[in-house]
Amino acid sequence: MAESVSVVALSRALADCFGFEDLVAKVAGSARALIGCDGATVVIRREGKCHYVEEDAIGALWKGQAFPLGDCVSGWAMTHRQQVVIPDIRSDPRVPLQLYLATFVRSMAMTPIERNGESIGAIGVYWASYHQATDSELLAMRAIAQSVAPVLLSARSAAMS
């Protein structure tokens, strides 16, 4: 019940955001707090790439960087329109290990953000220890993605124009 209250609070807070940067910062911070993970990121799909636009984490991830859709887990989640759960980054071939080994990340989950049948982005959450994302955590991630989708689509359009 507390999770649904937090997602409702996030939905209300998103409506009060003043621009794209404010919006993605609120999403990353809220995802990290709600899930209880060590890091969260917001990824935007644009021109065949995954743009890591925001993060809230115990260590640097990939904010400001872009990767081809086929070269990262966020791209896989968006193109397949499915949540991804990776309890051990070293054992999943979708993980570009060269990018992850320099970070704190040992486990992760990625959820696509969809609107009108299109994957417009993703929310990633990360753990510094080996962790199997729970059904409750995955449900919360889907709720966050659904809450942010309409606002993010509008903000993304405004930011790109």
pLDDT above 60 (res 1): no
pLDDT above 80 (res 35): yes
- Can you spell out the DSSP letters for 47-90? TTEEEEEEEEESS---TT-EEEGGGSHHHHHHHHT--EEES-GG
pLDDT tens per residue across span 43-90: 999 999 999 999 999 999 999 999 999 999 999 999 999 999 999 999
pLDDT at position 151 is: 81
pLDDT above 90 (res 22): no
Average pLDDT over all residues of the chain: 89
